Structure 1
Amino acid sequence: MTVRTSVLPDDDPRRTAPLLELLPDDAPLSWVRDGGGLVGWGCAARLATSGPERFATADEWWHELCAGADVHDEVRLPGSGPVAFSSFAFADRPGDSVVVVPEVVLGSRDGVRWITTIGDPAERPVQPVREPGAVEYSPGAVSTADYRRSVAEAVRLLEPAGSGGPDAVRKVVLAHDLLATAAEPLDARYLLRNLAARYPGCWTFAVDGLVGATPELLLERTGRHVRSRVLAGTSWPRPGVGADELASGLLSSAKDLSEHAFATESLAAELRPFCSALSVPERPEVLRLRNVLHLASHITGELHEPAAENGVAALLRLAAAVHPSAAVGGTPSPDAVELIQQLEGMDRERYSGPVGWVDGAGNGELGIALRCAQLEDADGDTGGRRARLFAGCGIVAESDPDTEVLEAAAKLRPITEALTGD
């Protein structure tokens, strides 16, 4: 596998064009935030894996692939050289996780724009983005009414904060889905551009038909440095309530602060053994988005020297240790995941699993696949016109089922608006 990375020359029009506008329409790959990041297309190699060993299998496969590659990299930044886009299933039970090595990657970082190619990829002209036309919605595997019932049952079962034994489940994250059927075949680039325009501070992703814009960073690794942006505790716009009032309410909400503490403490506990230093903020801040406000904490750390020297795909090994975090599973994690399987009533597939990229040096970024939709394959029953949308909420003993239904609806807005262009 011959990998070549070079800086785009000044007279190349791709040097200044928005990354998402350079994607062809065939299985686009994306990880873009604030205009920077990576996009790719074509398939030089691909791995499908599943089960509890999916991260280890992907790690070994990527390590072997990179070890045998002939790499010519004049850029030498995170994301240059060989790159794999990945999307992992939420659960350990069977369900495809995918790692895709594109034939072409365009990257932008620190003012540098580069291109990476594997082999001699064929030219793929950029066709006009297709609009989906009218979109109709129908219940998925879990209707809104079913979701409310599962939340109510979870509230009945959960232990309040500070009570119960160490193994008592104190938070569980429950989700439901929604089906969207468009009049015309869905073009992932249409969703990507709409999401990036509305949520520039989120990570806009596309891997194997899973398209979204996540505000939550599970892990980023750059050399020995690691960081995470943990989100838990949510409010959303409503008539007569200003954004400052909503933010103040989040920061003073015992329920939301407790939910957030579960998420930050669980991730820090799993990450700490890998780190020589780890910094966890004492109090969260508020992240303001178009559709919701979240309590957010930025966790940073430095890996131990041996971990930093492990090289290729160390990020995937770290992901195996921290997923699922309490932000998408609950706490304590193993018991919360069992409760999800008991109450939720659907297969999440890759929703709320890690999604992002890793390079040949082990650097990379993995977000949590939120605010997303799985686009149907073009040969599906509706000719590629259908998408499965997801939304979920963290449930604690103090949660109100009706409020959680409204929160889930607010979290669906990014994808429904991206589908319609509203």
Structure 2
Amino acid sequence: MNDAGDGGSATRSALDVRTVLVPASDPAASAALIDLLPADAPLSWLRRGEGLVGWGVAATVRTSGPTRFSDAAKWWTETVAAATVEDSVDEPGTGLVCFGTFTFSDEPPADDFADGDSVLVVPQVVVGRRGDLTWLTTIGVADAHVEVADAPAPPVDLTFADGALSGDEWMEVVADAVSRIEAGDLEKIVLARDLVATAAAPIDIRWPLRRLAAAYPTCWTFHVDGLFGATPEMLVRRERGLVTSRVLAGTIRRTGDDERDLALAAMLAHSSKDLEEHEYAVRSVAEALEPYCSSMNVPETPFVLHLPNVLHLATDVAGVARDGESALELAAALHPSAAVGGTPTPVARALITEIEGMDRGRYAAPVGWMDATGDGEWGIALRSGVLHDNQVRLFAGCGIVGGSDPEAELAESQAKFVPVREALGG
């Protein structure tokens, strides 16, 4: 056990890392990455069939508190420096790779069902794919046998119940927040709520992961240390000097009727309430990234992102990295954006603690991966749940501004529960 600073603890030894291409003739090169995951300690970060999956634990660190990001970044720098790497592929995501998940708050967890630790984990085996390339990385193990895993079983006798607050109680919280916004205390707050799903036996995390990857291919399907989901929102990507961030704020539920949904998309694109909420979120990301970029592109007008369950206003912010900050350090600078906290962010975060009525754990915080060069992708843990044995805690959040209607926000939150709820089978 090595000291990881005041905020956590670590396991680490000097790692031997080897990355090789998987030949096109190998069945693993044509199999879906999500189908390769075994039941033991699976990790995933996938979109449109590309990305990374991993399993086993070669090294890990757990941190907490206000220094959780810097403690984790320090541990990763030291782990990279001590590693011996043989990488014949040399793509982002090859060589030494870690997966990570971080808590939303600086504070210790307020309830027993919240995850108080932030985690980086280096798997023993990683399989990655980008375009026509598939590669295999082994870390601290001599060899690995990769094959399509057995199909996971669905959850047994699944039931759903209110989490910290009922729907009616949560609408009262929303009404309270609207009154404070209209009184001038703040401009926007993002309020979340939870549901608890309980099965009669332990849940195989691979079941919802496979269903999420199939149903939401344009989202990033992730699993790290019990936290899983399909997020539509990229907090930050760093790749060979280019920094990008996808901002989502402003949502409307789809009806399933294509013609009606096109009309709803046009309505969303001209909604003053949703455009105002979106502007706050884009501004907070652009201001947070600006010190780290030599140039930036911030589109003036959002586009409408179509997902199977909802429509979002979306903006892709891009920049050229100024210095050598890693993807994780950029994620730390961005968290929390107005899209998951509010505006002004310090006021909104304080109000979230005061009135939201639950501990977010790792919900709405960075989740993703990073390689030894500092390149990586960190999404925001949205459309997500956290698995504890036979229970899953599902999360959904809504941006509240002046004029927000509590009943409409409740309906929006219910739409945002749909991906994980249906992935579980509910």
Which residue does the alignment assign to 2:195? 178
Cα distance in 2 between the residues matched to 1:265 and 1:39: 33
How do residues 324-363 of structure 1 correspond to structure 2 at under 5 angstroms?
324-363=336-375
Cα displacement (A) at 1:169: 1.4
Which residue does the alignment assign to 2:305? 287
Residue 180 of structure 2, aligned match among 151, 157, 166: 157
Secondary structure of the residue that 1:40 maps to in structure 2? strand
Cα distance in 1 between the residues matched to 2:171 and 2:400: 11
Identity value in percent: 52
Cα displacement (A) at 1:187: 1.0
Which residue does the alignment assign to 2:48? 34
Question: Which consecutive residues of structure 1, in runs of 5 or more, have no partner in the other structure?
Answer: 377-383
Residue 146 of structure 1, aligned match among 169, 184, 189: 169
- Give the TM-score normalised by structure 1: 0.93
Whether contact under 8 Å (1:173, 1:330) holds in the other structure is yes
Which residue does the alignment assign to 2:9? none
RMSD: 1.5
Cα displacement (A) at 1:239: 7.8
CA offsets 1:313-341 (integer angstroms, 9 cap, x no match)? x1111111110000000011111100100
Rate the CA distance shift 1:84–1:181 in 2: closer, same or farther, 3 A.
same
Secondary structure of the residue that 1:416 maps to in structure 2? helix
Cα displacement (A) at 1:400: 0.3
Whether contact under 8 Å (2:199, 2:390) holds in the other structure is yes
Residue 139 of structure 2, aligned match among 103, 106, 118: 118
Cα displacement (A) at 1:201: 0.2
Cα displacement (A) at 1:123: 5.4
Which residue does the alignment assign to 1:396? 401
Cα distance in 1 between the residues matched to 2:217 and 2:47: 6
Amino acid at match of 1:207: V
Residue 385 of structure 2, aligned match among 337, 361, 373: 373
How do residues 181-330 of structure 1 correspond to structure 2 at under 5 angstroms?
181-238=198-255, 242-304=260-322, 307-308=323-324, 314-330=326-342
Cα displacement (A) at 1:182: 1.7
| Most deviating of 119-128 and 321-330 | 119-128
Which residue does the alignment assign to 1:379? none
| Count of residue pairs brought into register by the alignment | 402
Whether contact under 8 Å (2:255, 2:261) holds in the other structure is no
Cα displacement (A) at 1:279: 0.5
CA offsets 1:198-252 (integer angstroms, 9 cap, x no match)? 1000000000011100000000000210001100000012487711111011011
Cα displacement (A) at 1:110: 2.9
Residue 108 of structure 1, aligned match among 122, 129, 141: 129
Secondary structure of the residue that 2:340 maps to in structure 1? coil
How do residues 14-29 of structure 1 correspond to structure 2 at under 5 angstroms?
14-29=28-43
- Give the TM-score normalised by structure 2: 0.92
Cα distance in 1 between the residues matched to 2:265 and 2:278: 14
Cα displacement (A) at 1:183: 3.1
Secondary structure of the residue that 2:289 maps to in structure 1? helix
Indicate yes or no: 2:190 matched with 1:169: no
Which residue does the alignment assign to 1:60? 74
Cα distance in 2 between the residues matched to 1:239 and 1:417: 16
Cα distance in 2 between the residues matched to 1:27 and 1:68: 24
Secondary structure of the residue that 1:263 maps to in structure 2? helix
Question: Which consecutive residues of structure 2, in runs of 5 or more, have no partner in the other structure?
Answer: 1-14, 109-115
Cα displacement (A) at 1:185: 2.1
CA offsets 1:58-82 (integer angstroms, 9 cap, x no match)? 1000000000000000011000000
